[in-house]
Chains A and B, each alone.
Chain A
Amino acid sequence: MKRLTFALLCATAARAEEAEEAGGPPQHPRTRALAAEQVLSENDLYGGAVEAELEAAPLDFTVPTLLNGVEMDGLADFHLELQLRYAAANVLGGRNAGEFVPYQKVHVTIVNTTTASADDTIEMDLVPHAGHAEGWHYASNVLLPPGDSEADPFEDAYRVTVTLAPAMTIATHADASPPSGLFARVEPLVLFDRDVAFGGILQMPVGDVEEQLDRVAAYADILAALDANDFSGAAASFEASLAGMFEGRMDVAGYDAARGITEAQLADLSTNVESALAQTGPAPDCLTGGAVVASECKEWIKKGIERAFYLSILHEIDEARRAIAEGALDAVEGAAHKWDEAWAYFRALEATAGKRQTNCDDGRFGAGIACGMEAAIEAALLSGANAILIGGGAGFDAARAVVERELLQVEYLAVVHEIIAMREKILVADDAGYNKARVEARAFYRTIAYLFAADDDAVLIQAFEERDSTTFAQGDAVTLVESLNATMNGLLQADELAQTEVIP
């Protein structure tokens, strides 16, 4: 039912007059700009011959200006459009991939499920639109129900159903018979039937992640304590706030089996940090020859805790995937919450991501390297949250892949940087500096070691545990980077990998 009350008409007309007097375009009193086009769904139809993309887009002025009871300019909430295009040339009447599929009836029902009022339902057809930028598409501006000026439509949830059927029975040549569902009236195809939060997610978290942010705050407390050389204070914070998280991350059942993470690979997760907090290891670092090397202990504590946050992100990504598969998308316990948790845990790593971006320089890496890891992860987290709103799908998979890939790049850049630093320190006879770089390389490597084959892993571990700087030659550094690259080639692109010729 179309809801455009007299009161609303009066309000919008008054607002329009005010806006025109002010020199700007008329705008509905409650309208706010969408951050960007919000893709609601992407479908392959008719055996992959047709691609459909449903999206909510910012308003645009159109002619005629009144359609479906809604002004087609600023006096609505957004522009709902369906791009319906052939996926390939010479199929079902199309000549080209990307060509518009015409003469379809696109029917939309939008129910406000927050108010749960039978009155707060609208139905409309999306009608053919043409524009330079968008090409042909089916669309209508939408004023979400209830259409009063007091409500904020972007606070409510809506059930949106979109069906597709031929607008009329199309005469089909003999070579197109029996006619496709694109041409002959059949039961409408349900293109979309999901809950939608229009406007999308503009910032994270979506729900409550106080518990996870408390853990991030505990890590900050530990760092502050370490800066003050207060190892006992750091240990107390760890035990009070993070020990439980570490225990959870050591359970291989918390990860997708496809990751291949084993109990053996996780066995040192807690002990590395606990022994460093106690200034006893891990051997041969932190405590060596009966002397505590505080700087090495600190590196193991920092990198060891960040390893746990890294694994926590992988764990929450996998949990989100499982929840999506089960259809549990909510932000309380479902996929949106799991993704929120991943977002929260990244707070513990964002400083490292930002810092390690500066290691992405000096021609050390291939021409394909992109160094904006922190921003890429943030954008992917937001994109993934919006993808979960519409059920996950390809959008979620793409976002997940970016997060994992960029996190991996952070650790990879760090290990390569520290290997080069090891050689640089040797060249200036800085043995302590060599060992600090070596410990950092070793500790960073522990985070991604689960990805490595046994032979490469053995080469790396042996080198990283060698405190004697006199034995680490340029060729050894090259061998280490090559061992890293052997595994990274495939996880990253070949033209992103470190160039061994720059190793001093």
Chain B
Amino acid sequence: MKRLTLIPTLLLLAACEDQPIPTEATELPSLEEEVVVIDATPIAGGAATLKFEIASLTEAWGIPPADVAAGTYHFEAQIRYAGPLLGGRNAGDFVPYLDVALTLTNVDTGDAFEAPLLPVVGIAEGWHYATDLDLGSDVGVSRAGYEVGLTVGPAQGVVLHEDLLDSTAGTFFGAAPIAVRGFFTLDDLAAPEAAEDEAPAAKPKPKKTPGGGYGY
């Protein structure tokens, strides 16, 4: 499926005081293509990357489009090693056992909705963290768009070997969760190609691997 890069992919916490641009869209569109909200951005001191996407339930679960409730989407975070660091063996390896939480904030109302992203697996997408949300009922329609907040921390029950203990600060094994932010509008979901055209520094579309996944 064609994938798009929509907006400058990462807005750091400190930079989030910028006012979002109001849009005309007020309806929750059906997704025909997977939408990349945050492109692969370095986290954990560059040891890994985080990518945040919104996909249709048809793509994720094979549910016929007619049976998908309007405004219900599959929100997923790809968190993958950038190299043989912190327990990873290869660039592109999934980083498992993380506590990943998603917060969507309705910019119109200021209401925020938080949900955990849980491990999900697919052949094309590989292992990732994801959840399904009804944007309309869970967060509410927002003409001004949605702020995306992701926090990444270690899950309970993971044991660390001694040779890793000095390398945990600032990583997903550290004490403080990693925070990543992004932003999308209903226009981005409804007309991703147009949004892509407007994106000031759209990145090249990733190439698909033979197995259907993306080559990291």
Are A and B interaction partners? yes
Contacts of A103 in B (CB 8 A): 96, 119
Contacts of A170 in B (CB 8 A): 119-121
Inter-chain contact A96/B90, CB cutoff 8 Å: yes
B side interface size, CB within 8 A: 44
Contacts of A128 in B (CB 8 A): 96-97, 157-159
In the assembly, what is the distance between CA of A100 and CA of B126, in Å? Answer: 12
Inter-chain contact B162/A129, CB cutoff 8 Å: no
Looking at chain A's contact residues, the main secondary structure is loop
Interface residues as binary, A119-147 with B (CB distance below 8 Å gives 1, 0 otherwise): 00000000111111111100100000000
In the assembly, what is the distance between CA of A139 and CA of B90, in Å? Answer: 21
A60 close to chain B: CB less than 8 A:
yes
Inter-chain contact B162/A173, CB cutoff 8 Å: no
In the assembly, what is the distance between CA of A277 and CA of B119, in Å? Answer: 77
A139 — nearest CB in chain B belongs to which residue? B159
Inter-chain contact A67/B164, CB cutoff 8 Å: no
B123 close to chain A: CB less than 8 A:
yes
Inter-chain contact A64/B159, CB cutoff 8 Å: yes
A136 — nearest CB in chain B belongs to which residue? B87
A354 close to chain B: CB less than 8 A:
no
Inter-chain contact B119/A133, CB cutoff 8 Å: no
B157 — nearest CB in chain A belongs to which residue? A127
Contacts of A135 in B (CB 8 A): 87-89
State which residues 74-94 of A face B: CB under 8 Å. 85, 89-94
Name which of A175-183, A223-231, A383-391, A417-425 contacts chain B: A175-183
Chain A interface: which size bin? 35 or more
Tell me the minimal C-beta distance from A188 to chain B in angstroms: 19
Tell me the minimal C-beta distance from A139 to chain B in angstroms: 7
B205 close to chain A: CB less than 8 A:
no
State which residues 116-165 of B face A: CB under 8 Å. 118-127, 130, 157-165
Inter-chain contact B87/A95, CB cutoff 8 Å: no
Contacts of B88 in A (CB 8 A): 135-136
Contacts of B162 in A (CB 8 A): 60-63, 131
A172 close to chain B: CB less than 8 A:
yes
Instruction: State which of A130, A132, A171 has its C-beta within 8 Å of the C-beta of B118.
Output: A171
Tell me the minimal C-beta distance from A46 to chain B in angstroms: 13
Q: List 9 A-B contacts (CB under 8 A).
A: A62-B162, A85-B89, A89-B211, A94-B94, A96-B93, A99-B93, A100-B96, A136-B96, A174-B59
A-B CB proximity, top 3 nearest: A90-B211, A173-B122, A131-B161
